[in-house]
Amino acid sequence: MDVGITPSTLSGTARAPSSKSYTHRAILAAGYSGGALVYDPLVSADTKATMRVVDAFGGDVTRESDHLVVDGFDGRPEVPGDVLDCGNSGTTMRLVTGAAALADGGTVLTGDSSLRSRPHGPLLRAIDELGGSARSTRKNGQAPLVVDGPISGGTVSMPGDVSSQFVTALLMAGAVTDEGIEVELETELKSAPYVDITLELLDEFGVEAGKRQEDGGDVYRVEGGQFYEPADGEYHVPGDFSSISYLLAAGAIAADESGEVRVRGAYPSAQGDSKIVGVLERMGADVDWNRDDGVATVERSALSGVEVDVGDTPDLLPTVAVLGAVAEGETRIVNCEHVRYKETDRVSAMAEELEKLGAATEETEETLTIRGGESELTGARLDGRGDHRVVMSLAVAALAADGPTTISGGEHVDVSFPDFFDVLYDLGATVNR
C-alpha cells in the first residue's frame, strides 16, 4: 500500500499503542502459566504470531474487547502438529525457540524472507549446550530452525552483542526447567534495557530472576522449578515508547505554532526507548513528560544536532535520523552496527531514503551521520523497505518536506502501530492511502 503525506501542521492529543515488547513477553508468560488475563495488549501482526504459537504449544488465546484470555500450557509445551510460522516477528521466533526446547520432541520454526535472514546461531548453540538439539536447516544460523527437547537447565556462555532476545528466551524458559538456566555473557550486552523489560515482567508473573557481575562480565540467572502466576491472575501492558517516539518527533518538527502534541500512555517502565525524551531535550525541543499522569507534551522547536548512542536503544535509530535531518548542524548516531540486523538494515535504509528527500548522510559500519545544516527536504517517492519503523519514521520526515511524499509498504505499520496513519490524520496530517 502506498501512503501519501503532504506537509502538515499538527496539534491535539493522541494515545500511544501498548508496548509490543511487553505484549510478546506477556502472551508467552501467560502461556507458560496455567492461565492469565493480559489487559491492554498490542494486537498486531507480530503479536498475533506469538498468540498462534501459544495455541500450537497446547494453550489457547482468545481476544476480548480490552484483554486476552490465555489458557496456558502450564510450563510444558506440546510438540506442535505443524511448522510454526513466525511471520516477520524476530521476537516471536527467538522467544519461542526457547520454549520449543522444553517440548519432548521436535519443533520447526520459520518465517518470511526477512526473518529467514536474521541470525540465531548463539541461541541454537546454547540449546545444544543445555542438552537439547537446535539447528538451522541451511547451516547458517538462520531460519528455518529445528529444535528438539526437552532441556533440563544448566549454564551456557554466549556473546551479548548479537541479540538480547537470546537471553530473554533462555530466562523465560529456564524458570520452568528442573535446574534453572544461567547465561554468562562473553561480550557486552547490546539492547540491555530489553532484558530489563524481561526481568520486570517475570517479576510481575511471580518468577525470580536476576543479574550479577562476575569477572567483569554480566551473568543472568533464573532458578528452575518456578511457576508463572501473575497477581490476581492478570497483567496490564504499558504504553510503547518506540511508538511514542514517532509522535513526539512529529510534534517537535510539525506542531502548529500556537499548539502542541500531547501523547497519553507514556508511563515510566524499563523501556530503554523512553530515552527519546532526553534526546529531544538535548536537541533543544520544548518537551515535558509528566510521569505520574503518563502524558508527554511537545511543541514545535528549533532543533540542533547531537551525538546519540543507540547501543541499548536500536529502535530509536530511525526516529533520531529523521530528527537529525531537520536539525541544524550534525547529528551522529553511534554504536549502531546491530541495527543492521532488524527487519531490514535500518542504518542503510534510513541513510538512503533520507537522501532521496534531500538529506546529507554518511554511514560507516557502526555510525550514521546526518548533516541537517546541509539538508533541504523535498517530497519524493520513498521505499518503506517492508519495515514498520522505517515507514513510520519516513512519514514523520515527510511532514517537514517541501511538497508531497509517497511511501511504499504503508501496510507494514500493522506490525507495531496498526492505527499510526489514523492517529497522524487525527492530529492534522494530510494522509492519502
Which residue numbers are catalytic? Answer: 315
H or E element at residue 245: helix 241-254
The three three-digit cell numbers of residue 382, written as one number: 520513498
Q: Cα–chain-centroid distance for residue 348?
A: 19
Which one, of 43, 42, 32, lies nearest residue 74 by Cα?
Answer: 32
Q: What are phi and psi of 154, to 5 degrees?
A: 140, -165
Using an 8 Å Cβ cutoff, are 243 and 271 in contact? Answer: no
Annotated binding site: 20-21, 25, 90, 118, 163-165, 191, 315, 342, 346, 389
In the sheet where 181-185 sits, what is the strand order?
154-158, 181-185, 217-222, 209-214
Q: Read off the DSSP letter of residue 171.
A: H
Q: Cα–chain-centroid distance for residue 174?
A: 22
Q: Enumerate residues 6+ apart whose C-beta is below 8 A from 109.
A: 83, 84, 86, 93, 96, 97, 100, 143, 144, 145, 147
- Burial class (CB within 10 angstroms; exposed 0-12, middle 13-18, buried 19+) of 154: middle
What is d(CA 366, CA 309) in angstroms, rounded to the nearest whole number?
Answer: 10
- Burial class (CB within 10 angstroms; exposed 0-12, middle 13-18, buried 19+) of 107: buried
Annotated binding site for phosphoenolpyruvate: 20, 90, 118, 165, 346, 389
Work out whether strand 106-110 and strand 84-85 pair parallel, antiparallel, or are unpaired. Answer: parallel
In the sheet where 12-15 sits, what is the strand order?
12-15, 261-264, 295-299, 286-290
Annotated binding site for 3-phosphoshikimate: 20-21, 25, 163-165, 191, 315, 342
H or E element at residue 330: strand 330-334
Q: What are phi and psi of 23, to 5 degrees?
A: -65, -45
Q: Enumerate residues 6+ apart whose C-beta is below 8 A from 348.
A: 340, 363
